[in-house]
Amino acid sequence: MAQDRKKVLVLGAGYAGLQTITKLQKQISADEAEVTLINKNDYHYEATWLHEASAGTISYEDLLYPVESVVNKDKVNFVKAEVTKIDRNAKKVETDAGIFDYDILVVSLGFETETFGIKGMKDHAFQIENVLTARKLSRHIEDKFANYASSKQKDDKDLAIIVGGAGFTGVEFLGELTDRIPELCNKYGVEQGKVKITCVEAAPKMLPMFSDELVNHAVSYLEDKGVEFKIGTPIVAANEKGFVVKVNDEEQQLEANTVVWAAGVRGSQLMEESFEGVKRGRIVTKQDLTIEGYDDVFAIGDVSAFIPAGEERPLPTTAQIAMQQGEQTAKNIKNILEGQPTQEFEYVDRGTVCSLGSNDGVGVVYGKDIQGKKAAFMKKVIDTRAVYKLGGVGLAFKKGKF
Ligand SMILES: Cc1cc2nc3c(=O)[nH]c(=O)nc-3n(C[C@H](O)[C@H](O)[C@H](O)COP(=O)(O)OP(=O)(O)OC[C@H]3O[C@@H](n4cnc5c(N)ncnc54)[C@H](O)[C@@H]3O)c2cc1C
Dihedral sign (CA 17, 114, 63, 50):
negative
Is-contact 108 9, C-beta < 8 A?
Answer: no
Is-contact 8 102, C-beta < 8 A?
Answer: yes
CA distance 231 to 226: 16
350 CB neighbour count, 10 Å cutoff: 13
CA distance 321 to 219: 27
User: What is the predicted pLDDT for the residue at 93?
Assistant: 98
Three-state DSSP state, 14: coil
**To test the ligand 1 pocket, which listed residue (23, 111, 384) has its Cβ within 8 A of the most ligand atoms?**
111
Give the bridge partners for 155, in sequence order: none
Residue 95: exposure state from Cβ atoms within 10 A (0-12, 13-18, ≥19): middle
Instruction: Give the Å distance between the CA of 111 and the centre of ligand 1.
Output: 5
pLDDT tens-digit readout, 277-289: 999 999 999 999 9
Mean pLDDT in residue range 198-220: 96
Q: Is 317 in the pocket of ligand 1 (CB under 6 A)?
A: yes
User: Which ligand 1 atom is at minimum distance from the Cα of 111?
Assistant: 30
Give the model's confidence band at 3: pLDDT under 50 very low, under 70 low, under 90 confident, else very high: low
> Is a pLDDT exceeding 90 seen at residue 2?
no
Mean pLDDT in residue range 369-382: 97
pLDDT tens-digit readout, 323-358: 999 999 999 999 999 999 999 999 999 999 999 999
Mean pLDDT in residue range 251-278: 97
DSSP state for residue 261 in the 8-state scheme: E
Is-contact 63 21, C-beta < 8 A?
Answer: no
pLDDT tens-digit readout, 17-38: 999 999 999 999 999 999 999 9
User: What is the predicted pLDDT for the residue at 171?
Assistant: 98
Give the model's confidence band at 1: pLDDT under 50 very low, under 70 low, under 90 confident, else very high: very low
Cα angle at 317 between 312 and 319, to 5 degrees?
135
Q: Is 78 in the pocket of ligand 1 (CB under 6 A)?
A: no
pLDDT tens-digit readout, 128-146: 999 999 999 999 999 999 9
User: Which ligand 1 atom is at minimum distance from the Cα of 321?
Assistant: 11
Instruction: Give the Å distance between the CA of 155 and the centre of ligand 1.
Output: 36
User: What is the predicted pLDDT for the residue at 32?
Assistant: 94
248 CB neighbour count, 10 Å cutoff: 5
The DSSP-derived string for 302-345 is: GGEE---TT-SSPP---HHHHHHHHHHHHHHHHHHHTTPPP---
User: What is the predicted pLDDT for the residue at 151?
Assistant: 97
Instruction: Give the Å distance between the CA of 377 and the centre of ligand 1.
Output: 23
Give the bridge partners for 371, in sequence order: 362
CA distance 359 to 402: 13
The residues near 313 (Cβ < 8 Å, ≥ 6 apart) are 307
CA distance 238 to 246: 12
> Is a pLDDT exceeding 90 seen at residue 402?
no
CA distance 312 to 65: 38
User: What is the predicted pLDDT for the residue at 253?
Assistant: 98
CA distance 378 to 363: 9
CA atoms within 13 A on the CB side of 343: 13
Residue 401 identity:
K
User: Is 172 assigned a catalytic role?
Assistant: yes
Mean pLDDT in residue range 238-257: 97
pLDDT tens-digit readout, 297-328: 999 999 999 999 999 999 999 999 999 999 99
CA distance 192 to 286: 53
CA distance 18 to 70: 9
- Percent of the residues in the chain that have a pLDDT greater than 90, as a whole number: 98
User: What is the predicted pLDDT for the residue at 182?
Assistant: 98
Instruction: Give the Å distance between the CA of 93 and the centre of ligand 1.
Output: 21
310 CB neighbour count, 10 Å cutoff: 5
pLDDT tens-digit readout, 72-85: 999 999 999 999 99
User: Which ligand 1 atom is at minimum distance from the Cα of 173?
Assistant: 1
> Is a pLDDT exceeding 80 seen at residue 167?
yes
Is-contact 157 272, C-beta < 8 A?
Answer: no
**Kind and range of the H or E element at 225?**
none
* Number of DSSP helices (H) and strands (E) in the chain, helices first: 9, 26
